[in-house]
Amino acid sequence: MSLVARHLERNGIATLVMGAAKDIVEHAGVPRLLFSDFPLGNSAGKPHEPDTQAFTLDLALKVLQSAVGPRTTVQSPLRWAADGDWKLDFSNVERMSPQEVARKRAEFDKAKQVALGQRKQAGVG
């Protein structure tokens, strides 16, 4: 995504990346970054919370419009939780019970099957 953003910028199309891995995205040199200190995959806002998603999109558009120079990073004021403990626990297998690992694995396998079915239905690989 970072390479695409840089290519589009070189060709006159302004871009903004919404991301949750600040160090990686900044290292890739994107023109503009809206950083959300959320778990990976949640940079557009909290799941099932349209208000946080709308806020994030609105902020992204404001950053796109107002960034004063290349490699601009703005951090969203939204927080995943009141403290940073989620960073220790989020998908940390060592801190999960065997039942929780099995549940998450079953969810993942189910999502893979749904995606595979959709790909087959669309005639993709």
Q: What is the pLDDT of residues 11-52, one digit of tens each?
A: 999 999 999 989 888 888 889 999 999 988 899 999 999 999
Q: Taking Cα atoms as reference points, which of 50, 26, 42 lies closest to residue 79?
A: 42
pLDDT at 60 over 70: yes
DSSP secondary-structure letter at 67? -
- Whether residue 75 is found in the same domain as residue 106: no
Query: What is d(CA 107, CA 50) in angstroms, rounded to the nearest whole number?
Result: 23
Number of domains in the chain: 2
pLDDT above 70: percentage of residues in the chain:
97
- Whether residue 76 is found in the same domain as residue 105: no
Residue 125 binned pLDDT confidence (cut-offs 50, 70, 90): low
- Whether residue 12 is found in the same domain as residue 72: yes
In a domain, 85, yes or no: no
- Whether residue 38 is found in the same domain as residue 69: yes
Question: Which range of residues forms the domain containing residue 41?
Answer: 2-80
For 78-118, the pLDDT digits (tens) are 999 888 887 876 667 787 889 988 998 899 899 999 999 99
- Whether residue 99 is found in the same domain as residue 63: no
pLDDT score at 29: 87
Q: Please, are residues 63 and 32 in contact by the beta-carbon 8 Å criterion?
A: yes
Query: What is d(CA 96, CA 98) in angstroms, rounded to the nearest whole number?
Result: 6
